[in-house]
Amino acid sequence: MSSVHTFPLHLRFGDEDSYGHVNNVRYLQFLEDARVLLMSEAQPQGSFLDLVDPEHYALVGRQEIEYRAPLNFSLTPAAVDLWVTAVGGSSFELGYVVRNQVGHDGGTTCAVASTTMVLVHRGTGRPVRLSEVQRELLGSWAGPAIPFRRARGR
Amino acid sequence: MSSVHTFPLHLRFGDEDSYGHVNNVRYLQFLEDARVLLMSEAQPQGSFLDLVDPEHYALVGRQEIEYRAPLNFSLTPAAVDLWVTAVGGSSFELGYVVRNQVGHDGGTTCAVASTTMVLVHRGTGRPVRLSEVQRELLGSWAGPAIPFRRARGR
Amino acid sequence: MSSVHTFPLHLRFGDEDSYGHVNNVRYLQFLEDARVLLMSEAQPQGSFLDLVDPEHYALVGRQEIEYRAPLNFSLTPAAVDLWVTAVGGSSFELGYVVRNQVGHDGGTTCAVASTTMVLVHRGTGRPVRLSEVQRELLGSWAGPAIPFRRARGR
Amino acid sequence: MSSVHTFPLHLRFGDEDSYGHVNNVRYLQFLEDARVLLMSEAQPQGSFLDLVDPEHYALVGRQEIEYRAPLNFSLTPAAVDLWVTAVGGSSFELGYVVRNQVGHDGGTTCAVASTTMVLVHRGTGRPVRLSEVQRELLGSWAGPAIPFRRARGR
């Protein structure tokens, strides 16, 4: 069993902008929907969302994305590969590959990306520690770091 | 005269998601519109867009964003500060601060971000060198690097 | 004093689709934001939203829009004219004209539209009657019916 | 064989607004994507889009939508039923039902809607007549008028 999940990406006509390609902004929405699917996935111990205390929630702290090839609207789904690249005390990092073709390996890599999620308390907004069961579930999804090509601030 | 431009950010009701805050994805649209304004700004030598050969265009190669405080829909505009953080051979990097209040200094920093733009040839899709006049204009907008708090891949 | 309000419409680059015009879907977002501005406008007796019982809210029951000319992304704002075309027992109808140029009369009419808003109870979801003070405020915004060209179901 | 097509509607987290329901604007995007699927559907004589002269295209002339029940984000698809309600000289009308559950009959009707499409010449923007083969294909998709509850301008 692989720790990498692949979710179909159902494009919409309106994802393209006037340049005739999927707009750079929309990619982050694709990441969001893949993330929601992973966080909601049924598990023996409950989905990740089930494991989050009602007084806590996970917010997006940081995102990075590298665009590698244009993506175009198509009636056949594209794909988002998703896994966990790091687990910290109160945060974790997700890695993504956006491909223009669904299937476990096919197509062209259109973007690679990462998102840092932080678990916070609803009342205070302060970070709270990930529980052991949360860490275990995230650990089961662990995979390699995203191979960003460009160094920050070149 | 400052090299930092501040553009008003006119929020839309639909920028908020069901969490009751401006959605993380929308911030990239705010960056895009601030960028379009900067690239279109009238200059003695013509706007940056005027200086781009019709066979070339600037595409988004990479983006990074750090979310610092929630932003909420408001009838009064928020603000995007924007400047150039680096100029390379065929690319340049823009830095942004998204604040919840327009004015040259006011409000809370809701996000900091950077975008790498790459000048490419329409036909081949290959990077092409920035011209001297383009580099000069970008240089006139130069400012400090974005102080991202979190190291990548923590 | 006219009962017609004119609100600036700040377009975004992403409002255009791959046909190179503002997408038909986005027009409804422009109506929404103009409506929010009208409903929030300060009045001696409080804004319309202030006059709504916390247990009630106004939902969109029906919309109709006729597209008359393409609208294009521009750095200068377009405009939405907005007024009340009918007031019923628990509902009211708003009329809109979307023009490609701000100012009280200028530009081309890109679309005309109407929205029926229904005041409902949060708990039951059932329509509730508009109060006298709500009807008076809506009445002060009254104007002519929208001159739709095409009959329904032609 | 039924003249009604049913397409799955893959909701996105961002389709909900801060009221916690799918935003009224997004429904028109769902109609657009269902329409694109119908217009692209493979046919013995070619898809409808294949049958359109390269100098012509079909634009959205008018839309009407009646919202009947709230729709919520869900990981399982909703559905759009779609058929042709009228064919004119240079235009045709599509009827839609948006349901919160895929399958040929299931779920709650969240909205009913109609769109008038007009075939126009790219150069002049003027309406052009539908061809016989286009009319035949549209005729094969014919179904009943949309039973809008509310009369216009009540």
Give the ipTM.
Answer: 0.95
Percent of chain C scoring above 70 in pLDDT: 95
- A-interface mutation test, from B63, B68, B116, most A Cβ less than 10 A away: B63
| pLDDT one-digit tens code per residue, D23-61 | 999 999 999 999 999 999 999 999 999 999 999 999 999
* Nearest CA-CA partner of B128 in B119, B139, B141, B138: B119
Mean pLDDT, chain B, as a whole number?
A: 94
pLDDT computed for residue B1 by the predictor: 46
D18/B17 CB distance under 8 A? yes
Sign (positive/negative) of CA torsion B11, B17, B19, B23? negative
Instruction: Name the pLDDT band for D152 (thresholds 50, 70, 90).
Output: low
- Asked if B12 has any chain A CB less than 8 Å from its own CB, the reply is no
Cβ neighbours for D136, distance < 8 A, ≥ 6 positions apart: none
Domains in chain B, CATH or no CATH each = 5-140 (3.10.129.10)
pLDDT computed for residue D105 by the predictor: 72
Rounded CA separation D137/D49 (Å): 11
Contact (Cβ atoms closer than 8 angstroms) between residue A128 and residue A69: no
Mean pLDDT, chain A, as a whole number?
A: 94
What average pLDDT does range B92-100 have in this prediction?
A: 98
pLDDT computed for residue A106 by the predictor: 83
* Nearest CA-CA partner of A96 in A124, A56, A118, A66: A66
Residues 71-130 of D with CB under 8 A from A: 75
Rounded CA separation B6/B98 (Å): 10
Please report residues of B whose CB lies closer than 8 A to that of D17: 13-14, 16-18
pLDDT computed for residue D23 by the predictor: 98
pLDDT computed for residue A105 by the predictor: 72
DSSP reduced 3-state for C72: coil
B18/D16 CB distance under 8 A? yes
Q: Which residue of D60, D91, D145 is in closest CB contact with C153?
A: D145
Contact (Cβ atoms closer than 8 angstroms) between residue C32 and residue C118: no
Q: Which comes out higher in pLDDT, residue C152 or B124? A: B124
Tokens of D88: 């004119």
Rounded CA separation B49/B51 (Å): 5
| pLDDT one-digit tens code per residue, D89-147 | 999 999 999 999 987 678 999 999 999 999 999 999 999 999 999 999 999 999 999 99
Minimal CA separation from A135 to chain D, in Å: 24
Q: Which residue of D10, D29, D40 is in closest CB contact with A10?
A: D10
Rounded CA separation A75/A133 (Å): 39
What average pLDDT does range C48-55 have in this prediction?
A: 96
Q: In the predicted model, is pLDDT for residue B152 greater than 60?
A: no
Mean pLDDT, chain C, as a whole number?
A: 94
Exposure string for B103-125, b = 16+ CB within 10 A, e = fewer: eeeebeebbbbbbbbbbbeeeee
Class of residue B4 by CB neighbours under 10 A (exposed 0-12, middle 13-18, buried 19+): middle
| pLDDT one-digit tens code per residue, C60-100 | 999 999 999 999 999 999 999 999 999 999 999 999 999 99
Chains in contact with B, where contact means 3 or more Cβ–Cβ distances below 8 Å, are A, C, D
Q: In the predicted model, is pLDDT for residue D154 greater than 50?
A: no
pLDDT computed for residue B106 by the predictor: 83
DSSP reduced 3-state for A144: coil
pLDDT tens, per residue, chain A with 154 residues: 468 999 999 999 999 999 999 999 999 999 999 999 999 999 999 999 999 999 999 999 999 999 999 999 999 999 999 999 999 999 999 999 999 998 767 899 999 999 999 999 999 999 999 999 999 999 999 999 999 997 554 4
Instruction: Name the pLDDT band for B97 (thresholds 50, 70, 90).
Output: very high
Instruction: Name the pLDDT band for C154 (thresholds 50, 70, 90).
Output: very low
Contact (Cβ atoms closer than 8 angstroms) between residue A31 and residue A113: yes
pTM of the full structure: 0.95
Minimal CA separation from B23 to chain D, in Å: 8
Angle at alpha carbon of residue C11, lines to C10 and C17, rounded to 5°: 165
Which residues are paired to C99 by β-bridges?
C79, C109
C10/B14 CB distance under 8 A? no
pLDDT computed for residue B153 by the predictor: 45
pLDDT computed for residue C146 by the predictor: 96
Q: In the predicted model, is pLDDT for residue B20 greater than 50?
A: yes
In the sheet that holds A78-87, the strands lie side by side as: A5-9, A78-87, A91-99, A109-121, A56-67, B56-67, B109-121, B91-99, B78-87, B5-9
pLDDT computed for residue B128 by the predictor: 98
At position C133, the amino acid (one-letter code) is V
pLDDT computed for residue D151 by the predictor: 58
- Asked if C55 has any chain D CB less than 8 Å from its own CB, the reply is no
Separation of first and last alpha carbons in chain A: 38
B59/A67 CB distance under 8 A? yes
Phi-psi bin for B107: left (phi > 0), alpha (psi -120 to 50), beta? left
Contact (Cβ atoms closer than 8 angstroms) between residue B66 and residue B113: yes
Contact (Cβ atoms closer than 8 angstroms) between residue C85 and residue C93: yes
Instruction: Name the pLDDT band for C105 (thresholds 50, 70, 90).
Output: confident
Contact (Cβ atoms closer than 8 angstroms) between residue D57 and residue D120: yes
| pLDDT one-digit tens code per residue, B22-38 | 999 999 999 999 999 99
pLDDT computed for residue B151 by the predictor: 60
Contact (Cβ atoms closer than 8 angstroms) between residue B69 and residue B112: no
